[in-house]
Structure 1
Amino acid sequence: MPNDTLYLLSFFSTSQSRSIFSRSFHPSCDTCASVEKLLFCANFCKMARILITGSTDGFGLEAARQLIERKHTVYLHARSQERAEDVKAKCPGAAGVLIADLTSVAETRKLAEEANAIGVFDAIILNAGLLYGPFRKTPELGVPAMPFVNVVSPYILACLFKHPKRLIFIGSVLHHEGNPDLKDIFWLERGEKEFQDFPAYCDSKLHVMLLANAVARRFKDTSVISVHPGYVATKLGGSGGTDKLEDGVETYVMLAEGDYDQSLTGVYYEPKKKLGQPRAETTNEDMQEVVVKACEELTGLQLGA
């Protein structure tokens, strides 16, 4: 490939330069037509292999749709065969749908094995999560489903996945409301009588952001990010959401594509691609290790480097 062509491909690898070109594009201009082809090639050359858990609706589904439209290879995840068939119809361009109930240790491990068999992913978004719903215990460990899906299953997957270039954990602005004492993280001592879903959710989001930062310290070859998607009227957020779905999805797409400074790790993003300010405790390494140790003791899996 000629050096001038390589230079142009390099130039158009950034969103800022693509935006400049789009504002000055003239369809009848031969030069613009040639550059448009190079721009397509630049996008093509950046095609990424992406996995999004919890992608049958809401943020995960819409992010998948947009990433597929942008010519990326996207794998979805569904909890059951029925949901898998449904999302195939909603998102026919997906490369595949992996099926696993993330309240199960065995199925979560199976998800990691099947993903690893596909190959190394450029980006993995650990989007699956629970907020409201009846109290129910996970089958193998007896942990309430909410902290298991929100914290333990991401831990298992982080332990078992081949390291992607970008690993995105789903936090929440509500981590600011979480209890920082880190006692009885999985509600095993307090049990069903004391369980309240909203405080448990806030706690779980603080815990998963501590976990994400612990992973960031260990995985030197991966950009590890926490994201607050926004409070949106989705199945998880309920009908009272005040944010826009597209603002959160915009951040998902940016991170999945790697259209940011990938030397950043252990940071927190908000909707509209904004770097957020998490509570100070999320950077406390001792607190991070409390969460890691609790997950390790529960699952028997060790979080490697």
Structure 2
Amino acid sequence: MSRVFISGSSTGLGLMAAKKLAADGHSVVLHARDAARAKDAAAALPSAEAVVTGDLETIAGARHVAEQVNEHVNERGAFDAVIHNAAVGYREPYRKTSDGLPHLFAINTLSAYILTALIHRPSRLVYLSSGMHHDADANLGDILWQQRRWNGATAYAESKLHDTLLAFAIAKRWPDVLSNALEPGWVPTRMGGPGAPDDMQQAHLTQAWLATSDDPRARVSGEYFYHLKRMAANPQAHDPVLQRRLLETCAELSGVEVPPA
């Protein structure tokens, strides 16, 4: 059986994936933004190995979460998989974090980068993207929205393209790690809204499958999935120049470097 860490797993799809993994006999470490959410998460999944706590909107907070995850690595060995699930949605207004970064970018893009760079390398990495990424432009020249008027839906779509770029960049950089991205569908979570039309019962299955399955279809890297099937990602996600620029930009903003192979 596998050990899996899931960011942003106190509610929603992260918690659903955690419950699926636990039901299948895997060991899961949850993550919550604060102590109150951590208590709720532990109550929702009493079999969880642990709940780490920290707010991913700040660089220091993301570092602290990585440190806590690595403490579990030191105690019990490396995680088999990390699922990068934490995100805020497309209704997000423009506001800056204490680091001076757009809140949506800080959580959806930068925290996934920091956790990837700092958590002891697992065997598999899974990044949650979105169907909205297909029509997005990476806009790495204005990743912090300093030159454009804020649009939450566009910023969200860009962040999910960034997550896919990150997944594919890591697949190339770390050939010993299976690194993939997926879209769970537009489902009626708190983020998706009550009118979302996609199947909630399917939304959490692909990430759990990619994290643990021995199915040869899941034991691939640098691929994009929807409901257990490969599908084409936004072509920009495969661009090595954009991949490199995203890694360099996130490293400059965070002061954290992704280790080499």
TM-score (norm 1): 0.80
Task: Tell me if 1:107 matches 2:61.
Answer: yes
Rounded Cα–Cα distance in structure 2 between residues aligned with 1:148 and 1:232: 23
Match of 2:83 among 104, 120, 125: 125
Equivalent residue number for residue 138 of structure 1 = 97
1:51-70 correspondence to structure 2 within 5 Å = 51-70=5-24
**Alignment coverage as a number of residue pairs:** 254
Q: Distance in 1 between matches of 2:55 and 2:34?
A: 7
Instruction: Determine whether 1:253 maps to 2:211.
Output: no
Match of 2:158? 203
Confirm whether residue 48 of structure 1 aligns to residue 2 of structure 2. yes
Q: Which segment is superposed worse, 250-259 or 230-239?
A: 250-259
User: Of 29, 44, 56, which aligns to 1:90?
Assistant: 44
Give the one of 256, 259, 264 matched to 2:220: 264
1:71 aligns with 2:25: yes
| Matching residue of 1:13 | none
Q: Is the 8 A contact 1:232 1:243 kept in 2?
A: yes
Higher mean C-alpha deviation, range 129-138 or range 201-210:
129-138
Task: Read off the aligned partner of 1:101 and give its amino acid letter.
Answer: D
Which contiguous aligned blocks of 4+ residues in structure 1 show a shift greater than 4 angstroms? none
| Offset, 1:258 | 2.8
Report the TM-score when normalising by structure 2. 0.93
Alpha-carbon contact 2:129-2:163 (below 8 Å) kept = yes
Bigger RCO of structures 1 and 2 (CA < 8 A, at least 6 apart): 2
User: What is the match of residue 230 of structure 1?
Assistant: 185
CA distance in 2, matches of 1:186, 1:208: 15
Distance in 1 (CA, whole Å) between partners of 2:27 and 2:92 is: 33
Matches within 5 A, 1:275-290: 275-290=230-245
Amino acid at match of 1:79: R
* In 2: Cα distance, 1:49 partner to 1:244 partner: 27
- The yes-or-no answer on 1:165 pairing with 2:123 is yes
- Contact 2:135/2:234 (CA < 8 Å) preserved in 1? no
Counterpart residue number, 1:148:
106
Aligned runs of 1:164-183 on 2, under 5 Å?
A: 164-183=122-141
The unaligned stretches of length 5 or more in structure 1 are: 1-46
1:223-272 deviation digits (Å, cap 9, x = unpaired): 0010101110001111121111221212122112133336511100112x
- For the residue of structure 2 that corresponds to 1:264, the secondary structure is coil
SS at match of 1:147: helix
More helix by share: 1
2:5 maps to a residue whose letter is L
After superposition, the C-alpha distances for 1:8-52 in whole angstroms (9 at most, x for unaligned) are xxxxxxxxxxxxxxxxxxxxxxxxxxxxxxxxxxxxxxx111111
- Residue 168 of structure 1 deviates from its aligned partner by 0.5
Counting aligned pairs with the same residue, the percent is 37
Q: Separation in 2 of the partners of 1:188 and 1:222?
A: 35
- Find the aligned partners of 2:20 and 2:210 in 1 and give their Cα distance: 13
> In the alignment, residue 69 of structure 2 is paired with which amino acid?
A
Q: Deviation per CA, 1:80-133, whole angstroms, max 9, x where unpaired?
A: 101111111111111111001000111110111111111110011000001123
1:55, 1:61 within 8 Å by CA — same for their partners in 2?
yes
Letter in 2 for 1:178: A
Residue of structure 2 in register with 1:213 after alignment: 168
In 1, Cα distance between the equivalents of 2:34 and 2:52? 9
Structure 2 portions without partners, runs of 5+: none
